[in-house]
Amino acid sequence: MTDWVKWFREHLRTSGEGFEWAFSQINPALHKGLPPNPRYLGLWQPARHVWHITEYERCLVIPSMQQWLGGAMLPDDEDIWPDNDEAWQQVQDNIADEFIAAFHDIRQQQINLLDQLVDVDWDTPRETIWGMKPLSMVVTKTYQHTFEHGDTLLRMGLWWEEMARKEAEYRAQNH
């Protein structure tokens, strides 16, 4: 049997640190810019990825984890997690470091919440916003989601400036 609390405490911590590190690998002057080569680096600014993950965890994950402690199931309502261009427009002028600090705080809240879930059945499905799922899936989804967006941030940190330079050279040669 997996010691879910111990496993997730470690892996949510390290994946969060990796996510923060990935963001730090991007030139701060680019945190709010749109990346070149959207097919490889995506369509969002680096800061939007951090905001997206933070709000997902704040609005969906923490309340979903709290269901196992007697909290109510989230209503099926799009306003629970306003993950759209309009919501991003309202916060995009925040300082990029504020986004990463908010992510760090929300991730730590989840790690702290794990201590309350020690005696909970992590394997039996119950109704969630993702359908009938066990708590192990809810927290695993958080772990996966961190890697998904962290991968994009790492690609940005590794290749953004080189891709931008190559695109500029190409445009200069062909115009």
Domain extents in the chain: 4-155
Specify burial of residue 69 (Cβ count, 10 A radius: 0-12, 13-18, 19+).
exposed
Which DSSP symbol is given to 157? H
**pLDDT of 13 higher than 70:** yes
In angstroms, rounded to a whole number, what is the distance separating the alpha carbons of residues 20 and 26?
Answer: 11
Question: What percentage of the chain has pLDDT greater than the value 90?
Answer: 88
**pLDDT of 1 higher than 60:** no
In angstroms, rounded to a whole number, what is the distance separating the alpha carbons of residues 106 and 50?
Answer: 11
What's the pTM? 0.94
Domain 4-155 fold is Four Helix Bundle (Hemerythrin (Met), subunit A) (1.20.120)
Q: In this predicted model, which residue has the larger pLDDT, 171 or 146? A: 146
**pLDDT of 77 higher than 80:** no
